[in-house]
Amino acid sequence: MPHPQQQQQPQHAGYAYNGAGAQYSEHGHDNWDAKSYQTYHTNPSNQHLAPYEMSQVSDAPAVPNLPYGSYPPQQLQQRPGLKNAPSAYSTGSGWSDVREKLMKRRSVRQVELQQGNLVIDVPVPGHIVPPGQKSEEMTTMRYTAATCDPDEFMRQKYSLRQYLYGRKTEIFIVMTMYNEDEVLFCKTMNAVIKNVAHLCGRTRSKTWGPEGWKKIVVCVVSDGRSKINKRTLHVLSLMGLYQEGLAKDTVAGKDVTAHIFEYTSSVVCSDSGEVSMGACPIQIIFCLKEQNKKKLNSHRWFFNAFGPLTNPNVCVLLDVGTKPTGTSIYDLWKCFDSHSNVGGACGEICVDTGKGCSLLLTSPLAASQNFEYKMSNVLDKPLESVCGYISVLPGAFSAYRYKALQNGPNGKGPLASYFKGETMHSGGPNGAGLFERNMYLAEDRILCFEIVTKKNEGWVLKYVKSAKASTDVPTTVPEFISQRRRWLNGSLFAAVHATAHMFRIWTSGQNFFRKIVLQFEFIYNAIQLIFTWTSLANFYLAFFFLVSSATSEPKTDAFNFLSDGAGPEIFNIVLKVYIGTLFLVVICSLGNRPQGSKWTYVFSIILFGLCNVITLWCAGYTVYLAVPHTLDGWKNFGNLIETNTTFRDIVISLAATYGLYFISSFLHFEPWHMFTSFLQYMFWLPSYVNILMTYAMCNLHDVTWGTKGDNGSAKDLGGAKKVKDANGKEVLEVEALTNREDVETLWQASRVALRNKPPPEKEHRDAATKQADHDRNSRTNVVVAWIVTNMFMILFFTSDAFNNWIKDHVRNGKGDAVFNPYLSFLFYALAVLSLIRFVGSSLYLLLRLVGQ
């Protein structure tokens, strides 16, 4: 059947969903080990992602013999003293025992203030120091306790090693995460390491080469100290980016807002604790935010706190859980290097389909999303790239020119608009309205619009097809609906904003021809927006007219193979099922969480899918009847197109949608999704329109990311007190591990803890959420039972089947033509009930007269 609308392009904002073990949940869980086990065991596609093979990079130059390691990485040798790990920390609880014992052995040391701030350099375990290296950045880790807002970071005289060393930063990569486990973290981090190695291997490049790693900084920002996965901290510890007992809650009475760890790491770590030397060092900043303030705040630390110090050329945004291929970051950077007017670029986000595309066979939902992602990358992104404005650069994998993001002298600009959403969700008189708060759920769309329409500047956005990255997608219905709720609401209102302000393109610095092309694209997007708004009606009307036309004539009834004249009856039944299912979805969407109404939504998806199967059958049958069945008939095909309007409309519609799907996919040399995912997508298509759009519209009031922010700190780390030393100079007293053997033992304990996978444990909703879901479901069931009972009576007693039965068996062709037995029953029942009430009222008066 014809596609009723152009589906919204998938966004890939990682905080809504980042795989099996990483998702924002309204009610968080603290059992991170169980989440780690689930990612490792229930998503087998992840198990082969930590190792990375250079065979993935077909045109990668050979990596030179560098003095700091070889590639592929070689496994580190155990130190003799640590060959047999103590059994005390062979389990998670054992690691906690070792940590507690070592924390008691910390000693107090006095640290000089650096520009009035707490900055400590501590030695890293000897296992991860490259042989022969004695430089500070590779032998010590720097810890900085930030007590300010990200916007004040540079003003408060905080610094970074990259700035102190005076190095030029060409690429600044940020990896944002929340509670992702070690499998997802290693998946992304190892892919980044591989990309850096590829850049270092480009010996003929003027920019890159063996020393290219000095021009790259990787920043990992974790959203909330209490939320981070503990096993992910183990991985960071093995890489030299975290050390237990070093971070502090307060510094001289000021609350710490972020813990910043800096180290130039040369190791590659797997999710099972295997550590090996990488091809080249990687400059890494690990920013562990004290409070959970959501993804926008994480990006504010990246852009506003660290960006001015590193002053990069290109900023690359990654969500932990997304795995770029071995040359993807280079491909993105090359787009900026080759085109000076490119302000932003994105690559192709594809679904991680697992080994041998096994996920496509086991999950129809994943297959449908694979088709949706592929067609967006085949049709939508190339069109927008040609025009110069891509409506959304996915936050999961995209890049921006740092210069293009900068605000103007008046403080207004792309970054100011991007971060506006962080503070506007309070509502009320001082907050934003519902429109703006929904709009800033898609803040990456706002950023793209602001870059292209930046006053007096002519930036464009590009799509780089060769830059690919895979990501996990939801494989359960509740996760899928929750993710798309934010995507659809944000994209809808952001599209309205862009359409309403399209005139701003004429105040930008784009050339006249580009302005004409961009104006055309904005008009095209406005038309798409209208079809999105009316998608529910368009899909229903397509279903109604296709099925009704295929069952209107008894001789050409599409269901004559069942019985003669069965078409109209089937049409009436299917029509009522469609409307009833849509009504059920509306009821569930007005208050029920998808997690609490899972089976109701699954039932609705199946019914909508069956309705679409019937619709496709009717469309195909109509085309079959209309086409000639002889060779001579095909000679007059042109005449057939002119005279048979039904055939012409259906053929043109199918060719313009699904026909172009096939042709464009083959032109891009990526046709496989048409064979592996097309049928699943067609079955899910009605649910994309009816369920996702309905749930999103019914929950416009929900402008959250699905998380609860932390408004306070745990205060369990201890503080750094300001005192005066023997010379009367102000210093800070801090507790830290000073014995190198203790540092080595703690590192080894983290390694062994990762080696032991935790036992599986099913996640449970907390009691309050479970009770709330139960109450909402009970309410929904009562409402549905009430509506269904009344609707069934209406449909049954007004149906043609019932009236025909009355005509044949009750009236026998005699009596009043409008006679209906139920109407008679209704009249007599009401009369009897009224009579009973009258008798009761009369008895009351009689008894009152006699004094009773």
**What is 212-256 written as a DSSP string?**
GGGGEEEEEEES-TTTS-HHHHHHHHHTTS--TT---SEETTEEP
* Of 42 and 235, more confident: 235
Alpha-carbon 656 to chain mean position: 30
Same domain as 683, residue 561: yes
pLDDT of residue 105: 67
* Of 87 and 158, more confident: 158
Torsion of CA 675, 680, 682, 687, to 10 degrees: -160
pLDDT of residue 760: 66
Contacts of 213 (CB under 8 A, 6+ apart): 196, 199, 200, 280, 281, 282, 283
Specify the 3-state DSSP secondary structure of 265: strand
pLDDT digits (tens, 9 = 90+) for 739-772: 777 788 888 888 888 888 877 666 666 677 667 6
How many independent structural domains does the chain possess?
A: 2
Same domain as 346, residue 487: yes
Same domain as 670, residue 589: yes
Alpha-carbon 804 to chain mean position: 54
Whether pTM > 0.75 for this model: the answer is: yes
In degrees, rounded to 5, the angle at the alpha carbon of residue 437 between the alpha carbons of residues 435 and 438 is 65
Inter-residue contact 454 to 404 (CB < 8 Å): yes
Q: Give the Å distances, CA to CA, from 315 to 307, 311, 344, 404, 565.
A: 9, 10, 9, 11, 65
How would you classify the pairing of strands 107-112 and 730-736? antiparallel
Give a yes or no: residue 98 inside a domain. Answer: no
Residue 660 has pLDDT above 50, yes or no: yes
What average pLDDT does the structure give for the chain? 80
β-bridge mates for residue 323, sequence order: 470
Residue 500 has pLDDT above 70, yes or no: yes
For range 469-492, the mean pLDDT: 89
* Alpha carbons 780 and 774: distance in angstroms, whole number: 10
Q: Domain end: 502, 529, 556, which one?
A: 529
pLDDT digits (tens, 9 = 90+) for 46-57: 333 333 333 333
Give a yes or no: residue 773 inside a domain. Answer: no
Give a yes or no: residue 497 inside a domain. Answer: yes
End-to-end alpha-carbon separation of the chain, Å? 75
Q: Domain end: 666, 683, 698, which one?
A: 698
* Alpha carbons 652 and 251: distance in angstroms, whole number: 70
Give a yes or no: residue 655 inside a domain. Answer: yes
Q: Domain end: 529, 553, 583, which one?
A: 529
* Alpha carbons 42 and 802: distance in angstroms, whole number: 52
Give a yes or no: residue 265 inside a domain. Answer: no
Tell me the two tokens of residue 807. Answer: 């005509």
Residue 789 has pLDDT above 60, yes or no: yes
Same domain as 694, residue 554: yes
**Across 97-101, 166-170, 322-326, least confident range:** 97-101
Q: 647 lies in which domain range?
A: 534-698
For range 444-461, the mean pLDDT: 93
Same domain as 375, residue 522: yes
For the chain, how big is the Rg over CA atoms in Å?
A: 32
Same domain as 687, residue 594: yes
pLDDT of residue 564: 81
Residue closest to 146 by CA, chosen among 118, 175, 111, 116 = 118
Same domain as 539, residue 515: no
pLDDT digits (tens, 9 = 90+) for 687-727: 999 999 989 888 888 777 654 444 456 676 777 777 777 77
Same domain as 522, residue 461: yes
Same domain as 692, residue 602: yes
Inter-residue contact 600 to 584 (CB < 8 Å): yes
Give a yes or no: residue 724 inside a domain. Answer: no
Inter-residue contact 56 to 324 (CB < 8 Å): no
Give a yes or no: residue 642 inside a domain. Answer: yes
Q: Which helix (H) or strand (E) holds 788?
A: helix 767-797
Same domain as 454, residue 343: yes
Same domain as 379, residue 347: yes
Give a yes or no: residue 170 inside a domain. Answer: no
Q: Band the pLDDT of 659: cuts 50, 70, 90.
A: confident
Specify the 3-state DSSP secondary structure of 122: strand
Residue closest to 344 by CA, chosen among 404, 285, 299, 294 = 404
Same domain as 376, residue 361: yes
